[in-house]
């Protein structure tokens, strides 16, 4: 099966703004979504307590940035997303908390970013849309370059395993979770969507890539079945 194009992904999110504006319902297919949201934001601010500039990649409706601002209202926020309707909703919600917000519509692979600008970069449920190894390395390298020294790159995402046996086991566990949430039809819908749209990588792959592009330290914050939170420090 060929994977979704960038345009197909953008169109899907254009039509799904309302669901992703509510953390309680928008992330129901993501195990421990609220836990990882708190872990990512708390850890980022602990690692960079004097942070001033925040970049939210694939910001969706703004849940991660809003959570950050509830903990530090002095952040200058830059939001990036493929979907203009999603970006507009994020801007509306974030602007209700702070006036220091800028939006950029585009693909992180193509967006131009300044060097040594951001203290914290968040990537919540977005990097699994990257495709081949070149994609992954180019994006991680770009993120490293736009971080300030001492800055934090924090990820919460769908991940795979490095071993086929454990991959299959985690897939079965995830299937059980989805059935418990919405039955077999919901399980099939989510699996079909992942097969069509996503190209996740393992935690080990991403942590090794962080080190390869220059990050000095990496940390695993949380993992439950096929979802994880982790970070790199420049």
Q: What own/partner pairs with CB < 8 Å and gap ≥ 24 does 17-20 have? A: 17/61, 17/83, 17/85, 17/86, 17/89, 20/60, 20/61, 20/63, 20/86
Residue 155: inside a domain? yes
Residue 25 in this model has a pLDDT that exceeds 60: no
Mean pLDDT of the chain: 93
- C-alpha atoms less than 13 angstroms from C-alpha of 34 in its C-beta half-sphere: 6
CATH of residue 52's domain is: 3.40.50.150
pTM score of the predicted model? 0.94
Q: What is the pLDDT of residue 16?
A: 76
Domain count, the chain: 1
Instruction: Judge whether 129 and 200 are in contact, CB under 8 Å.
Output: no
Q: What is the pLDDT of residue 205?
A: 98
Q: What is the pLDDT of residue 80?
A: 98
Q: What is the pLDDT of residue 11?
A: 81
Residue 180: inside a domain? no
Residue 113: inside a domain? yes
Residue 192: inside a domain? no
Residue 146: inside a domain? yes
């Amino acid at each position: 099966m060929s994977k979704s194009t960038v345009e197909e992904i953008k169109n899907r999110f254009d039509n799904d703004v309302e669901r992703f504006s509510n953390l309680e319902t928008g992330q129901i297919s993501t195990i421990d979504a609220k836990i990882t949201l708190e872990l990512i934001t708390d850890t980022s601010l602990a690692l960079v307590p004097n942070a001033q500039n925040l970049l939210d990649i694939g910001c969706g409706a703004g849940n991660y940035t809003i959570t950050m601002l509830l903990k530090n209202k002095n952040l200058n926020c830059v939001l990036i997303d493929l979907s203009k309707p999603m970006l507009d909703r994020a801007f509306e919600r974030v602007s209700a908390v702070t006036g220091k917000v800028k939006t950029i519509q585009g693909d992180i692979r193509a967006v131009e970013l300044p060097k040594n600008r951001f203290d914290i970069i968040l990537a919540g449920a977005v990097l699994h849309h990257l495709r081949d190894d070149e994609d992954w390395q180019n994006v991680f390298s770009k993120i490293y370059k736009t971080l300030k020294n001492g800055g934090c790159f924090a990820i919460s995402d769908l991940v795979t395993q490095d071993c086929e046996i454990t991959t299959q086991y985690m897939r079965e566990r995830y299937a059980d979770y989805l059935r418990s949430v919405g039955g077999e039809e919901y399980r099939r819908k989510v699996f079909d969507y992942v097969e069509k749209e996503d190209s996740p990588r393992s935690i080990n792959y991403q942590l090794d890539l962080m080190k390869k592009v220059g990050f000095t330290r990496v940390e695993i914050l949380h993992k439950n079945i096929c979802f994880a939170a982790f970070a790199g420090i420049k």
